[in-house]
Structure 1
Amino acid sequence: MKLKKYILLYLLFVSVIAFSQVNTGKQFTIKGTVKTKENRNPISGVEVSATSGAIVYTDAFGAYRIKAEVGDYLLFKSLEFETVEYRIKDDEDVDVLVEGLDEDVQLSKSALHKMYLDSAKQFKKIDIGKSIDYIRVSLEQLGKRGNNKERAASYALLGEIYQYHKQYDLAVDNYKESLTYSTTGESQLLLANAYLLNKEYKKAEVLFLKIDGSAKLSTYKKIVLYEGLGDAYKGLKNTSKAVANYTKGLDLAKKELVKPKITDLNTKIAEAYGDANQTEEAVGYFENSLKSAKTEAPQRALEVNDRAADFYSKNSLYNEEMKLRQQSLEDIELLESSSKKKAVKRNAVTKEVEAPITRQRINYKIANNLIVQDKLDEAIPYLEESISEAASEDDLVVQKDATRKLSEVYDDKGDYSKALETYKKYAAVADTLYARKEQEISRAERLSKQIAEKQNRITGLEKDKELYESKSSLARTKQDLYTTTSIKQKILIYALVLGMFLFGIAAFFFYRSNRQQKLANNLLALKSLRSQMNPHFIFNALNSVNNYISKSDERSANRFLSEFSTLMRAVLENSEEDFIPLTKELELLELYVKLEHSRFPDKFNYTITTDPNIDVAAFQIPPMLLQPYIENAIWHGLRYKDELGFLNINLKQKNKETIEITIEDNGIGRKKSAELKTQNQKKQRSKGMGNIKKRVSILNSMYKDKVDVNIQDLNSDGSGTKVLLTLKKD
């Protein structure tokens, strides 16, 4: 009812807004498409103008959005068709279908496919959603048959899009799909590198070796192959094979004078040796990499300097690290003086987008170098400079780390007032960074959901194609059979008859299985219904009636039996429901406890207390969920006491969305009660409580942790029991 109410209010709100727009002469946005009437192909580049002055053009999907007013005329102009006019009556969408297009003017499906791929490439880095949409439309242009190479190109580009945006698992899936249509050495390399990025090193190794043994590759692709194979072995912790393949690639790069790869491979060999703790070899190759990088663009030297400095820091070569850090500061100064970017955001060595190499990061790393050498006074200016630059560049990560480190330095120096003051600044920056990270995570979740929806649509296209091909294959098979001899025609008829017969049998068994399943569900429901009330309670309740009758207390017997039948009827009515109003459940519990008290008046007294601030009617609870815990309290705790016990049932508000229901008894306790039971009673109790746990677990999985139950001893000596049930609103 609430949902219907909100929908009606929303529709009323939208109607009021629309009415006000229509009658005040304000502009609103008209959107629509322009397509061919015959085959619904979109027409791009159509001029759409409104008499109020706005002019737009249709995109690759034939879509447009334009500002207009009621009474405006929309004019659709193109060399491909006669001008179309449309008068605006309201803010509805305006889709235009045109006819009479010259076939020579219409783009072929292959040309449209290429155009959409070009558009996808254009949006690859700036809008992943649009880029994926263009891929989908490119596949739609190919139809169900389509050219396999063109289809492979679409999936390969989709893999590149996902790879750029770090969706490596989806990149792998789409590269694989591309290879099902067209297998080339280049497409196999794309998949192998995607395996590397997805950390599937063994699969990458197998595919690289396969390419090396079969594909004809250019020299540059050979270098890429050996580099990738080295990355795979490095991921598999096989340093010797990693270095061997990096060296093969390096030799080819030197032979062909491919300078970027000479730098990359020297660096990777150095890092491989570094991972294997072969420091001397690593230092030699880092020196080669640094020399090679100096012959390239300044950014390259900056990248390699940073990688080498990190290695020197890791291996306690602090003087060498300090020289490289200082050189990096000079390189950044040179880049800034040349009016270039202040940060290099792409690491050409690793081919991944990493943290930018900035002045504040380098100052922070220099400070860490000095701190490790216990040069705290020298480190402080670098930390302060790093904090200042990070603040001006809005680099919260470095600002946070540098501020925390500065606080630690002051603490180590014994300047506790400055340490505390700096730590407060650190806490403030950390809070800001945390809030920003939460926003980024939220945006990432929305993007992942959007990507999944778009990928599912593309997957649906592929399934439609497979179904179409399956149907086409079946049609061709039938046609072949019809053109053969009469004997084969009879065989076909017999096969069809047999197929229909088998289909009928399958339908019969499915129908029977469905009926059996429904029967099993009904039996399960009945079993659940029977388990909701303890058979001992029903049996003992009827004995109580018999006891009243034997005492000629007909009035008490009638009263007890009437109340008992009311309880049983309510249980039966609610047995099919997952949840019932809490008010109804409380009524049943009051009746149940009253019946039990009438049977054991000398064993316990009870109270049921409800916080007057609770809106009980607003909560829902699984039917008869509380009864087994109350029954346990009476039958296994209070019944065995020599003196009069108590049973307290209390409902209180935890917060606006949650209430707590407490069931307390001062009985003999769970441990002592278990000792008094027979083996058969223990087994029955275990099953009963196990069914309750399963029921709560299933309901929580369906209704998002609506119910939580906690059972504990009331007193430290093990006597008494407390059941705390937490119930949330819908």
Structure 2
Amino acid sequence: MGQIMANTRITDPDHVDFIGKVKSLAEKNLKNKKISTREKLIWRSAIGQSYSNEASVLMSSDVMRSIELLDKSEKIFIEIKDYHQLAMTLVGKGVCYAKILNFTDAVKCYFRALKYFEKEKDAGAAAYATMQIANAYNKQGNDEKAILYYKKAMKHFESLKNPNVEDILTNIELNHNIGHVYLLMGDYVNAEKYLKKALGLAESIGDTQFASLILDKMGRIYFKQKKYKEALLMFEEALKQDQSDLFKSNVYTSLGEFYISQKKYKEAENYLQKALAIGLQYNSLNIEMHARKFLYQLYKEAKQFDKSLEMYETYAVLKDSAKIQESRDALKEQQLKYEFENKELLTKVAQQKKMAALKLENEQKNARKNIILYIVVSIAVLLLIIILFLNYYFKQKNLAEARKNEELKQRLLLTQMNPHFIFNSVDNIQSLIHQKQDKEAISYLTKFSKLTRQILENSRENYILLSEEISMLENYMTIQKLLYNNNFRYEILIDEEIDPESLLVPPMLTQPFIENAIKHGLKNKQEDGLVRIHYRIQNEKLSFEVTDNGAGLTQEEEKQHKSLSTQITRERLESIASGKNISIETTNIMDTDNIIQGVKTYFEIPYVFNH
């Protein structure tokens, strides 16, 4: 049974019923107390693989559910010590994480899988896991690391003595990916080298579709090098391959672009019209858009201005549609990622509360039993009872203190991630998209995503590097500038004596006061606002200061200049400083003529050294 499941790849949603039946059969057999230990392992493995196969079915439609199912598979394979299936499950989780742009966790899963594959000396699987690591770096635009891990994957392939067809297909993809990255980097020599190797492997197993794709890219290399004779030869050879219409459309477009460069407009139009027909037939926005782009260029150069205008207008509409779709996809992926991280955080908080409650309940039960026992014993043990009671008292005090610290963290997190801030940020980013400011929208979306991740991750830590805190403030201030229509600028100053990489500080202490400076200090400033953030160290004491150039505070405002988040911060500071009275000063900034120039808030930040 285990072998059957191991060799079956179920990816068709119609097979969900089959998966359920396998799982039900396995659960039924596991209830039989007479089965052997070996049979138990087989049926447990079958359940684990049924979870993996169901995750495979749902991966394209419900990534979150796929991750949950793969988590169940992972637990089973760890329990039965089936490390090969565990590694395959980890690769699947990595693919899911990559789909929601969580490349950090994706790479962690791939590396864990790689460790098991290398331990088993499964070179083919190790190469595949390493290639997935490279793909993750490639998607993040880290070309150097992508190339590094692609080449490491290649070393695994070189150690294969008898590669099967699946291994060769992966090797073709690997060489193609390396060549593609070099092509994007403009390194045509290396791009040609690896694409030729991929072509040889594709031809050796008769994979004509992959051969067409590779030949087309080699033609583009020669075209960029102005080796037109070699380029045309590659494009024509690509067209000869047995392939689907969608693959042919790429070659038709390449030939169209090639003949435009040679001023052979009739041949160019012929190929581009074929590509356009395929795009329309298969409802492919991308193929249609590229075909119309080059037809517009062709008709313009051929001075057929009516046709040129018609093509350009249609191309412009398609391009706008593509950008809108890309923006929607990006927002959807970010939303999925946020929902996953938020769900993970809420689950962790719930587990912590449950464990704390169970621990407290058990301690209280034990305490009651001890009290009953102590009443029965003689007065001689009275001293021992007192000692135990005091011990219990201090334990409860420590638990209460710990719960208070956790509660403060969660309350602060909620103030950081309030819905008003999130929805305003998303609305402003959407506004940029509607205004066709795509670069700005993508930049702000990236910073908003990073800020969200930083807040969620840092909320779990007691201390983080000062450099990480400053990075988070940079992202926060950028988003705030967007929300306030760039009517202010900001500066972050750090004394030269401070090494941000060597100091650890409590996370998110300063943000509430910076928010007050923007929200209250600059509320009447329509332009030329300034928020200055300054970290100083004097007599081994680290201090934080934030100033604004607003209208200042009246006496009544100074009394009421408090918010929930600043109150929480004060409580956190007092908790970290072991109850010591913490001074947070907020005063008006006065010039020599006693005129208010803004507001200054400053306080001391506890820190430790990063060893």
TM-score (norm 1): 0.41
Where relative contact order (Cα < 8 A, 6+ residues apart) is larger, the structure is: 2
TM-score (norm 2): 0.48
Higher strand share: 1
Larger radius of gyration: 1
